[in-house]
Amino acid sequence: MNPTSAIDINFPYPRVMAVLNVTPDSFFDGGVLCDDKGFISLDLALKKVEAYLNSGADIIDVGGESTRPGATPVNENQELDRVIPVVEAIVTRFGALVSVDTSSPVVIKESANAGAAMINDVRALSRKGAVEAVFKANLSVCLMHMIGEPFNMQVTPSYNDELKEVKGFLLGRVSACESAGITREKIFVDPGFGFGKTLKHNLTLFRGLSELSELGFPLVVGLSRKSMIGSILDKPANERIFGSVALAMLAVQRGARILRVHDVAATVDVLKILHAVEGVYD
């Protein structure tokens, strides 16, 4: 299958990226797409995708490795087995834009062959060969900031200046991508809320989103159901929908261009209201 063309960054309105975790252990919805034997069900995944698309999702973000705090890595064969059949089926059945949440050069290559349009990497293409794999596949990429690895990122995160350090990291990874031949119009950036950050760090970064949005690259924001919302509201993940859509609206007002969410319908409704009141799509 030929890869889908990279995602155009010049879209006129904020886009909704729907989270599709084909994992048994993601923090909010791990295992919901597994059958009664614990294997990923392609039928359940496609039903979820159809519901997302009917609710207004623009991009489906498929992930085969949990990156929740404390998560252990999976090997490439496990990740390929989880991700590639789902990507192929989504592209074939729906023709939808698909992003793949991966750091593996092998998974990047095979995702492109399966029809993915974008790589969403929590490690910002820092693994050996990852930058080259994205360049060769002509994919878009989202570069995210994280301290450490998922298994230890929340142990003792520390910053002298959160906004300055995150900006510097992202610009450094952009430079690495450009040096390898990835053009600017294929690059998105994500401050990485919850990835090596305390509640204070997250709030400081959120207040600085307008400054991050001025870096010259579309800003991706993933806040859906995360622990920072739980800390503020004192509620478990399954009771954080209102906090999630509130932050989604505030993020768009501060320059976010793609919202990575679990609750597509609610987020789309909020964006429609925001557009009607403030014309954020104009």
Which of 162, 242, 157, 258 lies closest to 203 in space, CA to CA? 162
Give me the catalytic one of 68, 109, 186, 260. Answer: 260
C-alpha 232: how far from its chain's center? 22
Could you tell me which of 164, 1, 168, 11 has the C-alpha nearest to residue 91?
1
For the four alpha carbons of 71, 33, 121 and 210, in that order, the dihedral sign comes to negative
Q: Establish whether 109 is a catalytic residue.
A: no
Phi, psi at 257, each rounded to 5°: -110, -25
For residue 247 the two structure tokens come to 């932050």
Q: Which of 15, 226, 240, 257 is catalytic?
A: 226
Distance CA 194, CA 175 (A): 24
Rounded Cα–Cα distance for residues 202 and 222 (Å):
11
Annotated catalytic, 197? Answer: no
Residue with tokens 């998974």: 107
Residues known to be catalytic: 226, 260
